[in-house]
């Protein structure tokens, strides 16, 4: 068991937590569907997603904008606006308990101490009119009942832990007085303040330059290892997560279309969409090769194509792809793909 700045943490469950992660299994997302009911029609954002997350595991969820990855994260956190969002089907179990049928107050209490989230845009997520130290300290005041000076002391320790230089002096500074990278560190400090078992980071480095991106990912990895959190990284950029993730789930039109260990997927994708994503990022091992963007656009979620949703953009598509929706299936040891021709893609 590891001792951290914020208290003693887990062998199996968070200190003081009523939840217990049996065999290290923290999160089970099962057959999850999310729709948005709008005046124009029903957008089917998530269409039967399944995955598990264990203590100490990092799962990257990869996909273009509109693939459903952020909606999945919001559903887990319980921060979807309902309505227009509707969850017609599925379970999200945290330590065996279904968050979707949990009493509202009990669920609210999971946000922060059990499951926490780092958002993409630190500037709009932080309150501009309060000093950052005050905002971090508030987590301890509200959730742990700490007094002002103890909570501020904790905030300084956390700022030091996320490597903010001069934390003691800068605890009274305002969000706009920090760089983008430093603000993201403050967001991370707030997200881990209550020592959550699950941390979800939604595009945590999108607005940052490449060097700072790498530093933030390294920090997340360090914290994840130190606290044995289950970490979910939501990203559109495989290059950013390749060094950090254990497993990758690739999403397209609200479904997982490929799932594999990061190394296997990076080396040899088993789905044409993943292959396209990989061909569109620069790789050190393929210098001099031209980058190719995936042609076409992600589908309108109100009119997802029949059969395989990727078929209008897929260079491997055959008639069967326009008729039968391929299920996610095992295509090689540890490799799952939702493609009728996964074996050809894998070996081609």
Stretch that binds ligand SF4, among 112-120, 150-158, 204-212, 333-341 (CB under 6 A): 333-341
- In the list 311, 328, 336, 346, the residue contacting ligand SF4 (rule: CB under 6 A) is 311
CB of 260 to ligand SF4, least distance (A): 15
* CA-wise closest residue to 122 among 179, 173, 192, 72: 179
In the complex with ligand SF4, the residue whose CB is nearer, 122 or 250, is 250
Is 247 exposed, middle or buried, given 0-12, 13-18 or 19+ CB atoms closer than 10 A?
A: buried
CB of 289 to ligand SF4, least distance (A): 22
Is 29 exposed, middle or buried, given 0-12, 13-18 or 19+ CB atoms closer than 10 A?
A: buried
Residue 252 near ligand SF4 by CB under 6 A: no
Q: Helices in 205-299 by DSSP H: which ranges? A: 210-227, 238-241, 262-267, 272-279
Residues in a beta bridge with 117:
200
Stretch that binds ligand SF4, among 12-20, 104-112, 201-209, 311-319 (CB under 6 A): 311-319
In the complex with ligand SF4, the residue whose CB is nearer, 107 or 259, is 259
Residue 310 near ligand SF4 by CB under 6 A: yes
Query: How many angstroms separate the Cα of 311 from the Cα of each of 244, 314, 323, 345?
Result: 31, 5, 10, 14
CB of 341 to ligand SF4, least distance (A): 4
Query: How many angstroms separate the Cα of 135 from the Cα of each of 7, 139, 186, 198?
Result: 19, 7, 9, 21
CB of 324 to ligand SF4, least distance (A): 8
Stretch that binds ligand SF4, among 56-64, 94-102, 166-174, 309-317 (CB under 6 A): 309-317
Cis peptide before 281 (omega within 30 of 0): no
- In the list 181, 272, 276, 298, the residue contacting ligand SF4 (rule: CB under 6 A) is 272
CB of 232 to ligand SF4, least distance (A): 25
In the complex with ligand SF4, the residue whose CB is nearer, 291 or 320, is 320
Residue 95 near ligand SF4 by CB under 6 A: no
Residue 340 near ligand SF4 by CB under 6 A: yes
CB of 252 to ligand SF4, least distance (A): 9
What tokens appear for 193 in the block?
């303040």
- In the list 294, 314, 328, 331, the residue contacting ligand SF4 (rule: CB under 6 A) is 314
Residue 326 near ligand SF4 by CB under 6 A: yes
Residue 321 near ligand SF4 by CB under 6 A: yes
In the complex with ligand SF4, the residue whose CB is nearer, 139 or 317, is 317
* CA-wise closest residue to 337 among 248, 253, 263, 256: 256
Query: How many angstroms separate the Cα of 92 from the Cα of each of 50, 199, 230, 247?
Result: 9, 15, 15, 19
Residue 269 near ligand SF4 by CB under 6 A: no
In the complex with ligand SF4, the residue whose CB is nearer, 227 or 313, is 313
Spatial separation of the C-alpha atoms in residues 259 and 136, rounded to whole Å? 36
Residue 316 near ligand SF4 by CB under 6 A: yes
In the complex with ligand SF4, the residue whose CB is nearer, 175 or 272, is 272
What tokens appear for 71 in the block?
């909606």
Give phi and psi for 159, each to the nearest 5.
-65, -35
- Which residue has 């919001």 as its token pair? 74
Cβ contacts of residue 242 below 8 Å, gap of 6+? 262, 266
By the criterion CB under 6 A, which residues form the site for ligand SF4? 271-272, 308, 310-311, 314, 316-317, 321, 326, 339-341
């Amino acid at each position: 068991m590891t001792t951290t700045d914020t208290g003693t943490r887990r062998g199996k469950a968070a200190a003081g937590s009523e939840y217990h992660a049996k065999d290290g299994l923290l999160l089970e997302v099962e057959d999850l569907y999310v729709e948005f009911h709008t005046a124009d029609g029903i957008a089917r954002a998530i269409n039967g997603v399944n995955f598990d997350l264990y203590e100490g595991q990092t799962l990257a969820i990869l996909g273009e904008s509109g693939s459903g990855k952020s909606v999945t994260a919001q559903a887990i956190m319980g921060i979807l606006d309902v309505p227009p969002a509707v969850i017609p089907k599925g379970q999200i179990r945290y330590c065996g308990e279904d968050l979707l049928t949990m009493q509202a107050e009990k669920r609210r209490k999971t946000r922060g101490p059990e499951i926490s989230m780092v958002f993409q845009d630190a500037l709009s997520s932080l309150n501009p009119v309060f000093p950052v130290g005050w905002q971090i300290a508030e987590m301890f005041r509200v959730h742990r009942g700490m007094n002002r000076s103890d909570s501020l002391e904790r905030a300084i320790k956390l700022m030091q832990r996320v490597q903010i230089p001069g934390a003691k002096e800068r605890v009274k500074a305002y969000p706009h007085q920090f760089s983008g990278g430093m603000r993201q560190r403050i967001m991370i400090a707030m997200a881990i303040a209550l020592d959550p078992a699950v941390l979800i980071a939604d595009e945590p480095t999108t607005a940052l330059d490449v060097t700072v991106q790498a530093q933030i990912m390294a920090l997340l990895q360090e914290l994840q290892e130190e606290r044995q959190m289950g970490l979910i990284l939501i990203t559109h950029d495989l290059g950013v997560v390749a060094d950090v993730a254990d497993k990758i789930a690739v999403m397209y039109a609200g479904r997982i279309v490929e799932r594999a260990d990061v190394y296997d997927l990076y080396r040899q994708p088993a789905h044409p969409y993943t292959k396209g994503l990989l061909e569109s990022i620069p790789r050190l091992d393929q210098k001099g090769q031209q980058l190719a963007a995936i042609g076409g656009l992600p589908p309108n979620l109100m009119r997802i194509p029949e059969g395989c949703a990727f078929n209008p953009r897929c260079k491997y598509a055959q008639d069967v792809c326009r008729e039968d929706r391929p299920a996610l299936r095992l295509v090689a040891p540890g490799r799952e793909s939702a493609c009728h021709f996964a074996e050809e893609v894998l070996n081609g």
